[in-house]
């Protein structure tokens, strides 16, 4: 092994504590360099948006405030990984790279394969560590739940950096491309380990008491849910930190019912990423290959209406506009958006997957594609969920407060019509002073489209090739004791 510098390559682990890669690097001999890349290839990838780079930038800024007493700094490198490592190796020599495993997109998988070859060619040790409860190399799920619990209950890794010798930044300043700063935007959650711990404590001490009551409400869930998803996706917290803190909160008198439900979602989080780890082709293909000939045809007019929040269905449009402005809506609303696109509009899932990935501040490939496949009914094993947006609006936004907040055209609209504004007659429009209402008429008949979707989907589920694939999927991905995946 080369005796050069050691590198901590931060990926989706932008934190100092419970960070196995950082701790292992701190125990190595020699100088230490801390890096986080923002790669041009990912900036140009259709999954990503400025909001993601802003969150990473803020997370790195927070790390550097916390690292200042040790005279350490995480360098934010706007360059591709291999070219930068090549220049760095020629200048200082790289002895070892420490990072966490990444269950990512095809583009990051290929990049990591290239890094493996680079390290082998230059005699560099690349030590990767397990990420959360994800186990690499599994062929089935027989032992996964046991391994997950063992990892969650293991002691957290305490990092000490007091004896670390940092690389002198002047030695490599000419190798570092200019930083492309992203402007702050207060409409989005702010990244950083400090922010994440503050949210965790406020949830466990106060906000969790209405967790299950408000979990499906588009407005109330913004406060009553943990709001940790972006911090978990980018690694400001580990799942283990959150899980163990939740156990402590329950022991200290927190609501057992609410916190147990929250704990189950931490398990769910890793369950879907493990599924993607074992079958990442679902980024590009139907999970169940029996759906490869399913009759869908992309309609640009539908996509424009859906993606811009102009379908004529208030809750659908409010959710899309909210996502564009803040990067967050709750799980049920996300499911409804996918269902509306794939089922009511009978459209292919791939355009929706890319568009929503750009909007979700908490974009996590494993969860994202697992949910896209499940909600679009491309697994062949899950219950088909066709969400009626009118019914969802009536049940979860009964007074239309959320819809009115994000659709200014509907401000002052009567509550008894807010879920179906197209039912307002011309006389009633005059009565309410809404003659100039610019909100669009619905782009489809919701009852007819739902009926059609049910008929098409259930008939397709009976196809032999779909049933054969369903058997394969169940065998590979179902947890012991469960008949179906979650």
Token pair listed for 319? 């959710």
Whether 482 shows a pLDDT value over 60: the answer reads no
Whether 431 shows a pLDDT value over 90: the answer reads no
Q: Which domains does the chain have, with CATH numbers?
A: 5-129 (3.40.50.620), 193-278 (1.25.40.80), 289-477 (1.10.579.10)
Question: What mean pLDDT comes out for the span 79-91?
Answer: 97
The whole-number pLDDT of residue 176 equals 93
Q: How far apart are CA 251 and CA 270, in angstroms?
A: 24
The whole-number pLDDT of residue 179 equals 82
The whole-number pLDDT of residue 480 equals 74
Please report how many Cα atoms fall inside a 13 Å half-sphere around the Cα of residue 440, on the Cβ side.
15
pTM for the complete prediction? 0.96
What is the CB neighbour count within 10 angstroms for residue 106? 13
Phi, psi of 98 (to 5 degrees): -120, 130
Whether 484 shows a pLDDT value over 60: the answer reads no
Q: How far apart are CA 209 and CA 257, in angstroms?
A: 9
As a dihedral over the C-alpha atoms of residue 237, residue 361, residue 208, residue 132, rounded to 10 degrees, the angle is: -30
What is the CB neighbour count within 10 angstroms for residue 150? 11
Question: 389-428: per-residue pLDDT in tens?
Answer: 999 999 999 999 999 999 999 988 888 899 999 998 888 8
Q: How far apart are CA 484 and CA 239, in angstroms?
A: 24
238-255 core/surface letters (b: 16 or more CB in 10 A; e: else): bbbbbbbbbeebbeeebb
Burial of 1 (0-12, 13-18, 19+ CB in 10 A): exposed
Whether 486 shows a pLDDT value over 70: the answer reads no
Question: 4-33: per-residue pLDDT in tens?
Answer: 999 999 999 999 999 999 999 999 878 999
Contact between 325 and 222 under an 8 Å Cβ cutoff? The reply is no
Contact between 161 and 72 under an 8 Å Cβ cutoff? The reply is yes
The whole-number pLDDT of residue 485 equals 37
The whole-number pLDDT of residue 374 equals 96
The whole-number pLDDT of residue 386 equals 96
* 432-438 LR contacts (CB < 8 Å, sep 24+): 437/409, 438/409
Contact between 443 and 357 under an 8 Å Cβ cutoff? The reply is no
**What residue has token string 């290959």?**
289
């Amino acid at each position: 092994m080369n005796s050069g510098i050691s590198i901590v390559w931060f990926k989706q682990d932008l934190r100092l504590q419970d960070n196995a890669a950082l701790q292992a690097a701190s125990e190595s001999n020699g100088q230490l360099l801390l890096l986080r890349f923002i790669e041009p290839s990912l900036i140009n990838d259709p999954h990503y948006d400025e909001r993601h780079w802003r969150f990473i930038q803020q997370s790195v800024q927070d790390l550097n405030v916390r690292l200042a007493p040790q005279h350490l700094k995480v360098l934010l490198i706007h360059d591709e990984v291999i070219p930068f490592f090549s220049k760095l190796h020629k200048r200082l020599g790289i002895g070892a790279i420490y990072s966490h495993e990444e269950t990512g997109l095809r583009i990051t998988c290929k990049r990591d394969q290239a890094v493996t070859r680079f390290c082998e060619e230059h005699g560099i040790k690349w030590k990767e560590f397990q990420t959360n409860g994800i186990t690499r190399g599994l062929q089935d799920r027989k032992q996964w739940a046991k391994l997950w619990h063992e990892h969650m209950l293991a002691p957290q890794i305490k990092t000490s950096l007091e004896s670390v010798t940092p690389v002198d930044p002047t030695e490599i300043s000419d190798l570092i491309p200019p930083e492309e700063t992203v402007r702050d935007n207060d409409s989005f959650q702010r990244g950083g380990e400090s922010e994440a711990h503050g949210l965790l404590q406020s949830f466990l001490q106060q906000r969790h008491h209405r967790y299950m009551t408000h979990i499906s409400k588009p407005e109330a869930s913004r406060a009553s849910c943990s709001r940790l998803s972006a911090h978990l996706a980018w690694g400001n917290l580990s799942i283990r930190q959150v899980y163990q803190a939740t156990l402590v909160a329950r022991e200290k008198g927190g609501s057992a019912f609410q916190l147990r439900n929250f704990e189950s979602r931490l398990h769910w989080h890793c369950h879907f990423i493990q599924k993607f780890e074992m079958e990442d082709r679902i980024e590009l293909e139907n999970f169940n290959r029996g759906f490869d000939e399913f009759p869908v045809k992309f309609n640009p007019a539908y996509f424009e209406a859906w993606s811009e929040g102009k379908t004529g269905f208030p809750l659908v449009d409010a959710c899309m506009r909210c996502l564009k402005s803040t990067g967050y809506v709750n799980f049920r609303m996300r499911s409804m958006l996918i269902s509306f696109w794939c089922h009511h509009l009978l459209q292919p899932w791939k355009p929706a997957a890319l568009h929503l990935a750009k909007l979700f501040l908490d974009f996590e490939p494993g969860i994202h594609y697992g949910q896209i496949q499940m909600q679009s009914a491309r697994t062949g094993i899950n219950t088909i969920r066709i969400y009626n947006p009118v019914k969802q609006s009536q049940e979860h936004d009964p007074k239309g407060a959320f819809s009115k907040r994000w659709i200014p055209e509907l401000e002052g609209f009567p509550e008894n019509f807010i879920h179906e504004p197209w039912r307002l007659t011309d006389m009633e429009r005059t009565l309410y002073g809404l003659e100039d209402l610019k909100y669009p008429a619905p782009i489809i008949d919701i009852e007819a489209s739902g009926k059609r979707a049910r008929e098409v989907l259930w008939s397709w589920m009976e196809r032999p090739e779909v049933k054969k694939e369903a058997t394969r999927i169940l065998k590979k991905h179902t947890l012991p004791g469960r008949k179906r995946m979650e």
